[in-house]
Structure 1
C-alpha cells in the first residue's frame, strides 16, 4: 500500500516508520532539514533496548501525497486548514485520509 504522512513530527514519523517497517511504501511530508536526514539516513526508530533505521521517502512538498492509497494527517491542529488545502488537489476519490491529531474538531475542519 502506498501511504503518505502529512506532518513528519513525532506522531507522523512513528506511524510512518512502523508502516514502512511492515513493508508499505511510505512518504513523509515535513520540513527540509528533517526530510534531508530521512532521505540520507532513513528514519531512526528507538525502542529503548534497540534502534533501527527504516527506509522512507521524505518530501517537503504537499504534492508528495499524490497517488497515495492512504494519507495519515498528522499536522498540528493550528495547521489543519492550511495543510488540508495543500493536499486537496492530490487526493483521489479512493484515497483514505486518516486524521491522527489532537483536538475534537479537526476532522470537520479538514473535511470542510
Structure 2
C-alpha cells in the first residue's frame, strides 16, 4: 500500500497525503489545478473497500485537492460517470468495480 507499511493500522494515518507531497506527484500545484480531459483525474487510488476509500479521502483533505468519491455508498455508477464528465478532479478514490 502506497505511503504506509500496509495493513491499515492506526500508524498509517495521514501517510498517504505525505506520500503524495513527498514526490509521488510531480507538482502539487498542478494537481490542485488539474483539468483532465473527459473526466480523467491525475491520480487514481484503488481501495479494496468503501471504508478504506473514506479513510484515504480523510487523509487527503489537508491537501485541498478536489477528490472524486467512486464507491457504491456515495452514488450509483451512472451518476459518478456523469460527475466525472462534468467536473475536474485531481484525485479519484474508489473501489475496483467502480474504477472499471
With normalisation by structure 2, the TM-score equals 0.36
More helix by share: 2
TM-score for the superposition, normalised by structure 1: 0.33
Highest RCO, 1 vs 2 (Cα 8 Å, sep ≥ 6): 2
